């Protein structure tokens, strides 16, 4: 084997090793989160989660290939006001860890996973809580980015109802920004958020609260 051929062979082997190392490692740059980076935590009706809250995440590796079976975790620990339900009412088997405030699912063969997060908040009326980016998203332990969670069931009881409207009004009138009350995802609280909450409440799809983590 000539030196030139040996060098070319070693280079090709090195490229294969590098490609192999990239395969299966989630890439924040190649993966996709919702745009804008928000989602809405919802209630349910007769055990069916409100589809208004459904969103998807795509996990790709460093070589831009979709990763099947990737463990995707939504971490709520930075949102003191955000409480996932212990039962996500999800036929696709979400796993909830209440002490860690996480919800986990696995990607399908195309690298996509869909969540509909059942949960609520502990808002008593402008109660201290998260602004933007309180929910961290991990895939196989790699941080993909952060999302802001709006919440229909503001007080965590009785589904989306009159008291939730009252505490939303307190949020809006406080002069502070709370991600839980931003239903149009524009980083301000105003009339359009109220309109969207009223439409969601009127649909009846979040008329019941989930069983919130303690």
Question: So where are the chain's domains?
Answer: 3-203
CA distances for 176 relative to 19, 172, 180, angstroms: 48, 7, 12
pLDDT of residue 109: 98
Q: Contact at 8 Å (CB) between 130 and 75?
A: no
pLDDT of residue 8: 45
* Beta pairing partners, 160: none
Span 99-116, mean pLDDT? 98
Q: What is the pLDDT of residues 184-197, one digit of tens each?
A: 999 999 999 999 99
Quote the percentage of the chain above a pLDDT of 70. Answer: 90
Band (pLDDT 50/70/90 cuts) for residue 2 is: low
Mean predicted lDDT score pLDDT of the chain: 92
Q: Contact at 8 Å (CB) between 200 and 181?
A: no
Q: What is the pLDDT of residues 41-69, one digit of tens each?
A: 999 999 999 999 999 999 999 999 999 99
Q: Which of 139, 19, 135 is nearest to 72 (CA)?
A: 139
Q: What is the pLDDT of residues 123-180, one digit of tens each?
A: 999 999 999 999 999 999 999 999 999 999 999 999 999 999 999 999 999 999 999 9
Model confidence at 78: pLDDT above 60: yes
Model confidence at 202: pLDDT above 90: yes
pLDDT of residue 3: 56
Q: What is the DSSP string of the chain?
A: --HHHHHHHHHHHHHHHHHHHHTT-B-TTTSB--SSSEEEEB-EETTEE-GGGEEEEE-BBTTS-B-TT-EEEEE-TT-TTEEEBS----TT--EEETTTTEEEEE--TTSEEEEE-BEEE--SSS-S---S--EEEEETTEEEEEEEEEES-TTSSSSS-HHHHHHHHHHHHTTS--GGG-TT-SSS-SHHHHHHHHHHHHH-TT-B---B--
């Amino acid at each position: 084997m000539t030196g030139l051929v040996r060098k070319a062979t070693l280079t090709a082997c090195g490229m294969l090793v590098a490609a192999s190392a990239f395969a299966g490692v989630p890439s924040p740059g190649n993966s996709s989160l919702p745009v804008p980076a928000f989602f809405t935590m919802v209630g349910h009706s007769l055990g069916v989660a409100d589809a208004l809250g459904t969103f998807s995440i795509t996990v790709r590796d460093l070589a831009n290939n979709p990763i099947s079976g990737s463990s995707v975790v939504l971490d709520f620990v930075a949102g003191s006001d955000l409480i996932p339900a212990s039962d996500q009412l999800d036929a696709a088997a979400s796993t909830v860890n209440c002490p860690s405030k996480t919800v986990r699912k696995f990607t399908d063969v195309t690298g996509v996973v869909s969540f509909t997060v059942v949960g609520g908040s502990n808002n008593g009326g402008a109660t201290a809580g998260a602004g933007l980016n309180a929910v961290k998203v991990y895939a196989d332990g790699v941080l993909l980015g952060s999302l802001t969670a709006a919440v229909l069931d503001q007080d965590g009881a009785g589904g989306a109802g009159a008291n939730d409207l009252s505490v939303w009004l307190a949020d809006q009138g406080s002069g502070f920004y709370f991600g839980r009350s931003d239903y149009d995802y524009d980083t301000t609280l105003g009339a359009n958020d109220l309109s969207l909450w009223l439409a969601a409440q009127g649909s009846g799809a979040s008329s019941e609260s989930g069983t919130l983590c303690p």
